Amino acid sequence: MTKVHSILGSSLLLLTSTVTLPAFAETDAQHYPIDVQSCNRTVTFNQQPKAAVSNDVNLTEMMLVLGLQDKMVGVTGISGWKTLDPILREGIGELPELSPKYPSKEVLLGADTDFYFAGWNYGMKVGGGVTPDTLAPLGIKTYELTESCTHIMQKTKASMDDLYVDLLNLGRIFNVEDRANQLVENYKEQLQAFTNDLTPLAKPIKVFVYDSGQEQPFTSGAKGMPTALIEAAGGTNIIDDVQKVGHKLTGSQLSTEHQR
């Protein structure tokens, strides 16, 4: 599972304080019902989720930057993989970690969860016990991380738009669209300013993403968000020809196929 330890660094949390909400937000009665596209599904929300759970660091950061802590009952899949960033720990506050890795249906039910923000290989596995199909009969709506949709459907190379889509969809789901729109505009402006300041190079810098592993390093391919981040910074992922999100690389592959 590819881990993007901080999609946009601590700015996901710090920028929250710079977003000004409109004086007259749309009421829930005016806003719902809504339909949201999640991978290859259309999910209908008749009301705002009140007991949400997010899985993994990156997905939790998105919830926090949208100011949704009071709509959450917990998080999953963080301490089992990594140590919490101090800023993320502060943002989570008193929210409990319900499971150190992937949660079970029983864990989610025990927290009275009504919304699960996760992804394929980010809290759910194809054919596993926790999927949109298995959670729906329990009254738990699921929104899937856009980057992860490649595991269940045809999807192009990862891009920064994947992040923007998820923030905007979460904004619609929780009726905080103005906050989500402003965040996305801020991020686009920051990224544009950053790329404008880059010094042109004759050749892009080659980058290898190390996620984990020893004998076989786990890295990220063309469909993982790290490739989009590397390219935005003016580099190139040395395995961007591997059409996967995460990839376990053998020594022979690293030494011969991908020294470009």
pLDDT at 220: 77
pTM recorded for the entire structure: 0.81
What is d(CA 236, CA 206) in angstroms, rounded to the nearest whole number? 5
pLDDT at 195: 86
Find, among 135, 86, 85, 137, the residue nearest to 108 by Cα.
Answer: 135
pLDDT beyond 90 at 91: no
Domain check: are 221 and 185 in the same one? no
- Which residue range is the domain that position 245 belongs to? 205-257
Domain check: are 21 and 89 in the same one? yes
Domain check: are 157 and 225 in the same one? no
Find, among 142, 54, 145, the residue nearest to 98 by Cα.
Answer: 54
Task: Mention every residue, 6+ apart, whose C-beta is less than 8 A from residue 7.
Answer: 58, 61, 163, 225, 229
**What is the chain's Cα-based Rg?**
19
- 244 inside domain: yes
CATH number at residue 87: 3.40.50.1980
Mean pLDDT, the chain, integer: 83
Domain check: are 121 and 218 in the same one? no
pLDDT at 184: 97
Of 134 and 27, more confident:
134
DSSP one-letter code for 139:
T
Within the chain, residue ranges assigned H as helices are 11-14, 28-31, 57-65, 86-92, 105-110, 132-135, 160-173, 177-196, 225-232, 251-252
* Token pair of 139 as six digits: 């009254």
- 195 inside domain: no
pLDDT beyond 60 at 145: yes
- 127 inside domain: yes
Note the pLDDT tens digit of each residue in 188-212.
999 999 888 888 878 888 888 887 7
How many separate domains does the chain show?
2
pLDDT at 245: 59
Domain check: are 185 and 103 in the same one? yes
Task: Mark which of 130, 156, 189 sits at the end of a domain.
Answer: 189
Domain check: are 138 and 251 in the same one? no
What is d(CA 246, CA 38) in angstroms, rounded to the nearest whole number? 21
Q: H/E element holding 243?
A: none
- 114 inside domain: yes
pLDDT at 136: 98
pLDDT at 152: 93
Percent of the chain with pLDDT over 70: 82
Domain check: are 67 and 164 in the same one? yes
Task: Mark which of 157, 189, 221 sits at the end of a domain.
Answer: 189
Task: Mark which of 165, 189, 213 sits at the end of a domain.
Answer: 189
- 105 inside domain: yes
Domain check: are 134 and 231 in the same one? no
Domain check: are 121 and 219 in the same one? no
Taking CA atoms, 180 is separated from 67, 78, 132, 134, in Å, by 10, 24, 24, 29
- 159 inside domain: yes
Of 187 and 84, more confident:
187
Domain check: are 48 and 155 in the same one? yes
Q: Which amino acid is at 79?
A: S
Domain check: are 107 and 47 in the same one? yes
Percent of the chain with pLDDT over 90: 52
Domain check: are 53 and 104 in the same one? yes
Residue 143 confidence class, pLDDT cut points 50, 70, 90: very high
